[in-house]
Structure 1
Amino acid sequence: MVGKRGTRRERWQAAGARLRERALSAAGTAAAGAGLGVRTLPGVAGPLLISYGLWLAWPPLGFIAGGGFLLWADRRMP
């Protein structure tokens, strides 16, 4: 039966095309987020590990280094 909206097959094909567009958009967003995470992780993990190591040697030094890294990161923000 052909109606105003087309045949059943045409409606299913249109619905599939819309879902495909949404899936590709979601995959692109996820890939962009993963790339940002991979680029950001070393910049965050490095200072944390240095601060933790210094804290193990002498606890106040770890806090001082952590504060210094935060001040340094704040100055890098535009």
Structure 2
Amino acid sequence: MTTKEQLSVLLKEELTARGLSISALAKEAGVTFEVARRIVQGQSESSWITTNKLLAPLGMQLVLTPVPALVPAPPTDPALTGAGGSA
């Protein structure tokens, strides 16, 4: 499933759970109905800013979290850390 499809599913589920229309979401988010409709229906990609605008009225936000396996480990070479044993 693509990112835009995942966002579409999430938005549809949240709108249904809250009994909100796309029109109400667009108004609360400060975006046009057409922008909201296309994103909710999975017809358009969304920018970071627009995604957060659409999520905010639903009590959500998009955040970045480091993935531990992808974060480089600190250097262990004493020459790189300045912890060399030379006097």
Q: Would you call these one fold, judging by a TM-score over 0.5?
A: no
Q: More helix per residue: 1 or 2?
A: 1
**Larger relative CO (CA 8 A, sep 6+): 1 or 2?**
2
Task: Tell me the TM-score normalized by structure 1.
Answer: 0.30
Task: Tell me the TM-score normalized by structure 2.
Answer: 0.27
